Amino acid sequence: MDIKIIYFDLPFWRAEISRLPLFIANIKFDDVRPSDDDWDYAKENGKMKDGTIIPFRELPVLLINGESIAQTMAIARICGKLGGMYPEDIIEAGKVDQIVVAVENINALLSPSMKESDPTKKKAMRKELTSNELPTYFGYLQDILSANSSDWFVGENMTIADLAVWSLLGWIASGVIDDISAEVIQPFEGLVKLYNQINKNPRVKEWKIQTYYYDKDQSDEYADDIPDSI
Ligand SMILES: N[C@@H](CCC(=O)N[C@@H](CS)C(=O)NCC(=O)O)C(=O)O
């Protein structure tokens, strides 16, 4: 199978939930990280310079056996299935999907403050996020996690649901979002435990060494600051 995952040179959850299942399962794929110039071209033309279609002019995009697939969830399902990190059972699969979509919702909660240019308004939005919105969502996630009998969100093994939450928490804990830090995660012991446990996975560690720390002085805005434990 010929597989390319196209995403920016960042360890953002939208890409990590698809890159990691392939890497963990030793499935070869092309980890394409377009330059700004390449991305400007794709945004304007709806395709990369090599002709790869970018259907919604957003990333990630998966190119699999010559077919372009867009949208984080669609790509993650395929890569999760290939890597054995997405359940066959439809109910279990739905339980995985609800977590990934919750991560998407948390991402959407954070987005407006990213776009806010007035520093006072931005600070107020971040205060609301840390005191209300994020703890509320983290509480829901933790309740689901602790209702399962294993260390994972669904079933007995790590799935893309765990990876999505892990990657989102790493982004928040990196401190790259001004006025939001790991402190907002700390009260949620179950989520902290999940985060720390995934960081101890030998293949995850290997992936981080290969992709998080290799370009310290270049484009990467936050990878170096993602903590190994909270
Ligand atoms: N609905 C899309 C959203 C993807 C998205 O928001 N991608 C952002 C990066 S995280 C993007 O491509 N931004 C660059 C741009 O729009 O120019 C998905 O689920 O994948």
Domains of the chain: 3-82 (3.40.30.10), 90-225 (1.20.1050.10)
Ligand 1: lining residues by beta carbon, under 6 Å: 12, 14, 43, 58-60, 71-72
- Measured in whole angstroms, the distance separating CA 118 from the mean position of its chain's CA atoms is 28
Of all atoms in ligand 1, which is nearest to the CA of residue 60?
Answer: 20
Mean pLDDT, all residues of the chain: 95
pLDDT at 212: 86
What's this model's pTM, rounded to 2 decimal places?
0.96
Confidence category of residue 222, pLDDT binned at 50, 70, 90: confident
Asked whether residue 16 carries a pLDDT value surpassing 60, the answer given is: yes
194 CB-contact burial (10 Å; exposed 0-12 / middle 13-18 / buried 19+): buried
Confidence category of residue 219, pLDDT binned at 50, 70, 90: low
Q: Given ligand 1 and candidates 39, 43, 58, 168, which is best to mutate, with the most ligand atoms within 8 Å of its CB? A: 58
Residue for token digits 């993602």?
226
Confidence category of residue 224, pLDDT binned at 50, 70, 90: confident
User: pLDDT tens for residues 117-172?
Assistant: 999 999 999 999 999 999 999 999 999 999 999 999 999 999 999 999 999 999 99
Please tell me which residue, 214 or 197, carries the higher pLDDT value.
197
Q: Given ligand 1 and candidates 13, 14, 43, 45, which is best to mutate, with the most ligand atoms within 8 Å of its CB? A: 14
Asked whether residue 95 carries a pLDDT value surpassing 90, the answer given is: yes
